[in-house]
Amino acid sequence: MTGAIARMRTMRGKLALVRNGFGAAIMPPEVKRLALTYAAKINEGHMGPRKFWRLYLPRLKYHNPDLPIEVEQRHEIGGPATLTVEFAGDKKEVIDCQHIHENDIVKQLFEMTRAKQLPINEADSLLANEYLQERDRLRRATITKEAKRAAKKEEERVGGGMTA
């Protein structure tokens, strides 16, 4: 099992990514609810909404804990992908997310709601960068280790398992 310090370092980095960056904003009080609907498979233009759900909704939820956010992943392939924004006074507006990049979905949401992007916190930015660098280092180490293991297995297979 991984040590507590390593787990804590990883969690600090992940939390810094959620607190900081593009999409971290406080929604105005007029916004009462967000509802995202898309297909679970990325076919037919559902990659953007899926990445929006994965990358930006956690940031929005972190900074707006009282804002209800509903996500529906449909199991059928295709169909519409929408982000519905409900305002006070039963006013609803819909963003068609199909075939749209996740950054553009965030920009449209911010324009529609007039949400303001939060400034970048330097301490969180450093923690997030350290986390991302460590994650990349571990990924490269895993690839190297797998290549060595595959080479050793191939050597054993070719040699017939005999050792000198």
State pLDDT tens for residues 73-114.
Answer: 998 888 899 999 999 988 999 999 999 999 999 999 999 999
> What count of other Cβ atoms lies within 10 Å of the Cβ of residue 13?
20
- 123: Cβ contacts below 8 Å, ≥ 6 apart: 16
- 75 lies in a domain? yes
- 58-75 pLDDT, tens digit per residue, is 999 999 999 999 999 998
Domain containing residue 50: CATH number: 3.40.30.10
pLDDT at residue 8, rounded to an integer:
87
Task: Assign 162 a pLDDT band (cuts: 50, 70, 90).
Answer: low
Portion of the chain with pLDDT greater than 70, in percent: 96
- 49 lies in a domain? yes
What's the total number of domains in the chain? 1
pLDDT at residue 146, rounded to an integer:
95
- 3 lies in a domain? no
- 101 lies in a domain? yes
Q: Which residue has the tokens 């679970």?
A: 40
Rounded Cα distance, 32 and 86, in Å:
5
Rounded Cα distance, 125 and 118, in Å:
13
pLDDT at residue 161, rounded to an integer:
57
Task: Assign 163 a pLDDT band (cuts: 50, 70, 90).
Answer: low
CA angle 34, 40, 41 (to 5 degrees): 135
Task: Assign 34 a pLDDT band (cuts: 50, 70, 90).
Answer: very high
Domain that residue 93 falls in: 26-117
> Across the chain, what does the average pLDDT equal?
89
- 136: Cβ contacts below 8 Å, ≥ 6 apart: none
> What count of other Cβ atoms lies within 10 Å of the Cβ of residue 138?
11
β-bridge pairing 69-74 and 31-39: parallel
- In sign, the C-alpha dihedral spanning 100, 94, 109, 132 is negative
- 67 lies in a domain? yes
Does the pLDDT value for residue 127 go beyond 90?
Answer: no
pLDDT at residue 119, rounded to an integer:
87
